[in-house]
Chains A and B, each alone.
Chain A
Amino acid sequence: MSARPAPAALDELDRRIINALQGGFPISDEPYREVAESLGTTEAELLARLERLLAAKVLTRFGPMFQIERLGGRFVLAAQAVPEDRFAEVTELVNALPEVAHNYRREHRLNMWFVLATETPDGIADATRRIEAATGLPVFAFPKLREFFVDMRLKA
């Protein structure tokens, strides 16, 4: 179980790298060199900083972000109302499923919110049934009916 990390100490170039790399990354022979030049730094410096930002978990990922539904898979948000005295036990049971991609504790009667990610649509119902059987608690499913245009970039 991971607590939230503290805000990291980032210098000005780190912030410019994070902001620039949330946009499109080139599909070219030497993409890091191209990005480095546009930021006024060197390829070696950019690669070293990316390694450091990933190791420090300032970046959770760097690479292609797949739209899993278009690859045939499914992502479904789901929630449970977990009694306080069972919270740690249920967290372990839910997190044990490889289909659980993210899990957050939130302040509400529905206090555990997780994302089920499966390679096929059928996998969601199966994972839901296994969580209900393991925990004895109902799972409320919130499949997305429509995604509205969003800009996921956050300015560092």
Chain B
Amino acid sequence: MTSPFPPDDLDRRLVIATQAGLPLVPRPYDLLAEQLGTSADEVKRRLAAMLETGRIRRIGAVPNHYAIGYTANGMSVWQIDPAVIDAVGERVGGLQSVTHCYRRPDHPPAWPYNLFAMVHGKSRAEVEAEVGRIATLIQAEFPGALGARDILFSTRILKKTGLRLGE
């Protein structure tokens, strides 16, 4: 993991300048360079370096999944034998229907689940069927590894802003 960057660093100013979005102008990196008092080549070099090191996952669009028709958003949660959880996570994370997959701590007895996989679909029934297929797949490929499971559907977005670094 890279250490936090020092304040006033150009990378940090570049994060702050682009966290709301990339400018919608024909030469966006030139505009950023002008705003930051540097050259477009330097802006491009820094962005490429941040992509290379994984500090930027990608430059692109984030669709609102409701707006593009994925109205059912189920957080599937799984109680998986810790001995095989990483292999199960890789398998489930690689499925087309899964957009995020994480190993997280359980909180027994209230919360026995240690693997989380977000499944998006065009209806609740579609998500339930897909989660059923994932369960069958885990049972077939990792016999005895799956305990309890559940799906938590979201019923309302209460807030969605994303992280904002201080200006």
Render B124-161 as a binary contact track against A, CB cut-off 8 A, 1 for contact.
Answer: 00000000000000000000000000101111111111
Is A119 on the interface with B (CB-CB < 8 A)? yes
Number of interface residues of A (CB under 8 A): 85
Are A4 and B66 in contact (CB-based, < 8 A)? yes
Contacts of A32 in B (CB 8 A): 24, 26, 28
Are A43 and B67 in contact (CB-based, < 8 A)? no
Q: Tell me, in angstroms, the Cα distance from A63 to B20 when the chains sit together.
A: 8
Q: Tell me, in angstroms, the Cα distance from A74 to B71 when the chains sit together.
A: 28
Is A133 on the interface with B (CB-CB < 8 A)? no
Contacts of A149 in B (CB 8 A): 90, 93-94, 101
Is A127 on the interface with B (CB-CB < 8 A)? no
Number of interface residues of B (CB under 8 A): 80
Are B153 and A63 in contact (CB-based, < 8 A)? no
Are A57 and B67 in contact (CB-based, < 8 A)? yes
Partner of A113, one of B92, B152, B163: B152
Output the nearest chain A residue to B150 by Cβ-Cβ distance. Answer: A108
Contacts of B55 in A (CB 8 A): 66-67, 70-71
Min CB gap A131→B, angstroms:
13
Output the nearest chain B residue to A148 by Cβ-Cβ distance. Answer: B93
Output the nearest chain B residue to A120 by Cβ-Cβ distance. Answer: B4
Q: Tell me, in angstroms, the Cα distance from A54 to B94 when the chains sit together.
A: 29
Output the nearest chain A residue to B41 by Cβ-Cβ distance. Answer: A29
Q: Tell me, in angstroms, the Cα distance from A105 to B96 when the chains sit together.
A: 25
Q: Tell me, in angstroms, the Cα distance from A147 to B30 when the chains sit together.
A: 35
Q: List 27 A-B contacts (CB under 8 A).
A: A2-B160, A7-B71, A21-B60, A22-B60, A24-B59, A27-B29, A27-B47, A29-B27, A32-B24, A51-B24, A56-B67, A57-B67, A58-B64, A60-B63, A63-B22, A65-B59, A67-B54, A70-B53, A72-B5, A91-B158, A108-B152, A110-B110, A114-B158, A141-B105, A148-B90, A150-B93, A150-B101
**With A107-B155, A141-B105, A151-B96 given, can you name 6 additional A-B contacts, CB distance below 8 Å?**
A4-B66, A60-B63, A63-B22, A64-B15, A150-B100, A151-B99
B contact residues vs A (CB 8 Å cutoff): 1-5, 15, 18-22, 24-30, 40, 44, 47-48, 50-51, 53-71, 75, 86, 89-90, 92-94, 96, 98-105, 107, 110-111, 116, 120, 150, 152-166
Query: What are the 10 A-B residue pairs with the smallest beta carbon separation, nearest first?
Result: A72-B4, A148-B93, A117-B163, A21-B61, A63-B22, A103-B158, A103-B159, A25-B59, A148-B89, A106-B152
